[in-house]
Amino acid sequence: MISKKQVEETVVQLLRKSVVEIPKDVESAIEEAFKKEEGTAREQLKAILENIKIARRKEVPACQDTGIPIFYVKVGCKAKVDLNELKEGIVKGVARATEEIPLRPNVVDPISRKVCKDNVYAGMPHIEFEFLNEGDFVEITALPKGAGSENMSALKMINPSEGLKGIKKFVIEVVAKASGNPCPPTIVGVGVGGSSDLALIMAKKAVLRPVGSRNKDEELDCIEGELKEKINQLGVGPMGLGGKTTCLAVHIEKAGCHTASLPVGVNIQCWTGRKATVRIR
């Protein structure tokens, strides 16, 4: 049986890894961008790569904004776990991680703005469950999401008559308007279809896909490549100071939608691309 304490301990380590160690796929993409850039853009990427090394060596968060605690949890049908204990373990893990790592107490009451010192409050940490038809494990993915990038999220209920052209136009407009605010080079997640809320959910989950991976849907894969090229032609560049690299990747997810609707959500992730996943058996 997977215990609450086991989950708690795992979540502390998972959050530590996610805020300290920048994922290899993201670091590799930044290194490739560094080779292609010049001038100010190259210096910015050099500073980012040095930042990554220092954080890893000193075991401190790579960014002072350690985000809000978001988790995606997959539960195998053969996993021996109590769902209430699983949730409680995650909550306790967040509280401990906030004190021990430490994480910045980013979570506040939305009205009074009172700070929640352990990052635990109504709806926080946010946990999304998915139940699998196989497997004897629980898989937990942590996505600490900073405000600089999260504040650039956008949703548009596009007129279906605008079609693919309207989708592309909206995504590019969102990234151009965001400019340097989300700390580029970014990962751009796009959700197309579903409902208004589902489009944004898909967009956020899309940023978790490894940078450099190909979309299994050939049409979406082609659109991702085109959007990445056009976004990098905007000239926003690393940290918004100009250059060839505004985004490292564009990832798109889609779902069926109403015949009279075309929701499009955009979620941008900063250069840290923070994420970490673990399986407990």
Q: How far is CA 226 from the centre of its chain?
A: 21
CA distance 200 to 239: 24
**According to the model, what pLDDT value does residue 66 have?**
98
pLDDT at residue 265, as a whole number: 98
Q: How confident is the model at residue 5 (pLDDT cuts 50, 70, 90)?
A: very high
Are residues 107 and 121 in contact, defined by beta-carbon separation less than 8 angstroms? Answer: yes
**Peptide linkage before 185 cis (omega within 30 of 0):** yes
Report the DSSP pairing between strands 70-75 and 126-131: parallel
For residue 80, the model assigns a pLDDT of 96
User: Alpha-carbon torsion 177, 181, 185, 188, what sign?
Assistant: negative
Cβ-contact 106, 94 below 8 angstroms: no
CA 236, 238, 243: angle at the middle one, nearest 5? Answer: 55
Contacts of 3 (CB under 8 A, 6+ apart): 85, 89
In tens, the pLDDT along 191-235 reads 999 999 999 999 999 999 999 999 999 999 999 999 999 999 999
Could you give the CA distance from residue 187 to residue 22 in angstroms, rounded to a whole number? 13
d(CA 44, CA 231) in angstroms, rounded, equals: 18
One-letter amino acid at 281 equals R
Residues of the chain with pLDDT > 70, as a percent, come to 100
Q: What element of type H or E holds 29?
A: helix 24-36
Domain ranges of the chain: 4-16+63-144, 147-269
Q: Bridge partners of 191? A: 253, 265
**Considering only CA atoms, which of 23, 100, 105, 109 is closest in space to residue 65?**
105
pLDDT digits (tens, 9 = 90+) for 79-89: 999 999 999 99
Cβ atoms of 46 and 229 within 8 Å: the answer is: no
Residue 208: predicted pLDDT: 98
What confidence category does residue 96 fall into, taking pLDDT thresholds of 50, 70 and 90?
Answer: very high
The whole-number average pLDDT for the span 167-178 is 98
Q: Distance (Å, rounded) from C-alpha 70 to C-alpha 72? A: 7
Q: What confidence tens digit (pLDDT) does each residue in 6-57 have?
A: 999 999 999 999 999 999 999 999 999 999 999 999 999 999 999 999 999 9
The alpha carbon of 165 is separated from its chain's Cα centroid by a whole number of angstroms, namely: 26
Residue 71: its pLDDT value, please?
98
Measure the CA–CA gap between 46 and 61, rounded to whole angstroms.
18
The model scores a pTM over 0.85: yes
